Amino acid sequence: MLDFIKYDCKNFKGAFPCKPNKNNDFTCNNCNEYIPIDKKILIIKLGAIGDVIRTTPLIQKFKELYPNCQISWLTQFTSVLPKQIIDKIFNYDFISFFTLSNTKFDIAINLDKEEEVCMLLANVEAEEKYGFIWKDNHIAPATQAAEHKLLTGFFDNYSKQNKKHYVEEIFEICHLTFNDEKYLLNINEELVQKWTEIFKSKSCGKTIVGLNTGCGNRWSTRLWNEKYWIELIKLLQQNNYFPIVLGGEQENSKNIFLSKQTNCYYPGTFSLEEFFSIASACDIIVTQVSMMLNIAVALQKKIVLMNNIFNINEFYLYNRGIIVEPSTGCDCYFGNTCKRKIPCMNDIKPETVFKAVLKL
C-alpha cells in the first residue's frame, strides 16, 4: 500500500507533509516535484565557531559534485550555518547522536578529534567514511588522507613544518581537491542593510575599518595591547578613514575605553547574528587570529590579520588580505603564556598595520 511513497525525495519530511503536498495537494504518485537524493552526506564539525565557518567550503564542493545531495551537519553552533543550503542541522546532544547512529549515509565525515564524535563516526553506517574515527580504543584516521592532520595535531614539530592551509587540509581529508570554494555564513540581509545605513550616515563616505580588539581566552598571547589600538585608531582618523571598534561582551569595557580615548565609534555588543551584519557593513577588517577572521573571510572582506603563535601557512585569505607578524618571530607556538619579558605581539607596530590597510 505504501509502495508509491518516494522516501528518497529531497522534499520528503518524514512524519510530516512535504511542501509540494502542502502547496498543491500532490502525493508521490502524481507529483512533478520529485527530486531523488543522489548522495546523503553527514559532516561532523562541532566548533569552535570560526572552525565551523571555515569548514563550509565543503558544502559548495559537494553541491557541485552532487547537485541533489542531502547534507546533514552536527555542530555546537547551529546558528552559524546557512539553513537555506544545509538540509538538516543537528544540535550536539543525545537525541542527535541517537538519530545519526541509526541513519544510513553515503558519505560520513568527522573533522573533530573529540572521542565521542570519533566513536560516532565508527558507529554511523556509511559507504565512505573520512576524517577521524575510533579504532582500537583510540583516535585514528578513517583513511590514510587524514594522517597528515593527525600528526600536525599530535606534534608541534610536524605542525611547524606544515605548508598547507586549513581548507586545503580538510578537502584532502575528504579525498577532494580545493578550488577556491567559498566560506558560507548565515546572514540576515535586513540587519546588514540596517548597519550599512548606520555606518554610511556616520562615516560621511570614508572607508570603514572594523577593528576587532579581542581573541578569546584560549590563547591570550594573541592579544594586541590597548596603547597600540589607540595609536592605530588615531592614524586611521588622521588619514581620512572611519575606524570602528568591535568585539563581544569580553571586550566591552576595553572598547568603551578605546572609544573614549579616541572618539572612535563603538556600536556596542550584540547577538552573533547582528555581529555578522555589523562586520558585513565594514570595508576592511583588522583582527588578531580569532572568530572574526573567519567571519571576515566568509563576508569576502579585505583583511589585515595579526598573527604570532600560529603557522602562517594555516591561513588562506583568498587574495584579499595581508598577514603581519612580529619582526622578531614568536617563541610560544600555540602557547598561552609568552616566554619573553616583552610579548612578541608588541613587535607588531601600529604603523605596520596602518601600512597594510593602505595597501588594501
Domain containing residue 90: CATH number: 3.40.50
pLDDT band at 3 (very low <50, low <70, confident <90, very high): confident
Query: Does residue 231 register a pLDDT over 80?
Result: yes
Percent of the chain with pLDDT over 90: 79
Q: What is the C-alpha separation between 223 and 239, in angstroms, rounded?
A: 25
β-strand partners of 128: 107
Shared domain check, 292 and 337: yes
Mean pLDDT of the region 168-174:
97
Q: Tell me, yes or no, whether 225 and 128 share the same domain.
A: no
Q: Look up the pTM and report it.
A: 0.93
What is the tens place of the pLDDT at every residue in 287-325? 999 999 999 999 999 999 999 989 999 999 999 999 999
Query: Which residue range(s) make up the domain with 160?
Result: 37-173
Q: Is the pLDDT of residue 232 over 90?
A: yes
Q: Mean pLDDT across the chain, nearest whole number? A: 94
Asked whether residue 222 falls in the same domain as residue 337, the answer is yes
Note whether 233 and 281 are same-domain residues. yes
What is the model's pLDDT at position 27? 87
Judge whether 44 and 71 are in contact, CB under 8 Å: no
Is 30 among the domain residues?
Answer: no
203 lies in the same domain as 347: yes
- Does 162 share its domain with 47? yes
Q: Is 53 part of a structural domain of the chain?
A: yes
Instruction: Identify residue 306 by its one-letter amino acid code.
Output: M
CATH of the domain at 233: 3.40.50.2000
2 has a pLDDT exceeding 90: no
* Predicted confidence band of residue 158 (pLDDT cuts 50, 70, 90): confident
Does residue 74 lie in a domain region? yes
Give the percent of the chain with pLDDT over 70.
Answer: 100
Per-residue confidence at 11, pLDDT binned at 50, 70, 90? Answer: confident
pLDDT value, residue 168: 97
Task: Decide which of 173, 200, 227 is a domain's last residue.
Answer: 173
Whether residues 164 and 216 fall in one domain: no
One domain, residues 196 and 289: yes
Residue 28 pLDDT level (bands cut at 50, 70, 90): confident
- Verify that 156 and 202 share a domain, yes or no: no
- Same domain assignment for residues 224 and 99: no
Region 86-106: what's the mean pLDDT?
A: 96
DSSP class of 221 = G
Q: Is 77 inside any structural domain?
A: yes
Torsion angle of C-alpha atoms 209, 262, 291, 218, degrees rounded to 10? 150
Looking at the structure, tell me whether residues 204 and 340 fall in a common domain: yes
Q: What is the mean pLDDT of residues 185-196?
A: 96
Q: Which tens digits make up the pLDDT trace of 52-68?
A: 999 999 999 999 999 99
Reported as a pLDDT band with limits 50, 70 and 90, residue 220 is: confident
Q: What is residue 90's predicted lDDT score, i.e. its pLDDT?
A: 97
| Contacts for 64-71: CB closer than 8 Å, 24+ residues apart | 64/181, 65/39, 66/38, 66/39, 66/41, 67/38, 68/10, 68/35, 68/36, 68/37, 68/38, 68/39, 69/37, 69/38, 69/39, 69/40, 69/41, 70/10, 70/37, 70/39, 70/40, 70/41, 71/41, 71/43
248 lies in a domain? Answer: yes
Region 328-336: mean pLDDT is: 82
On the question of pLDDT at 217 being above 80, the answer is no
Cell 579525498 appears where? 175
Instruction: Check whether 353 has a pLDDT greater than 80.
Output: yes
pLDDT value at position 224? 94
Q: For 113-149, what is each residue's pLDDT tens digit?
A: 999 999 999 999 999 999 999 999 999 999 999 999 9
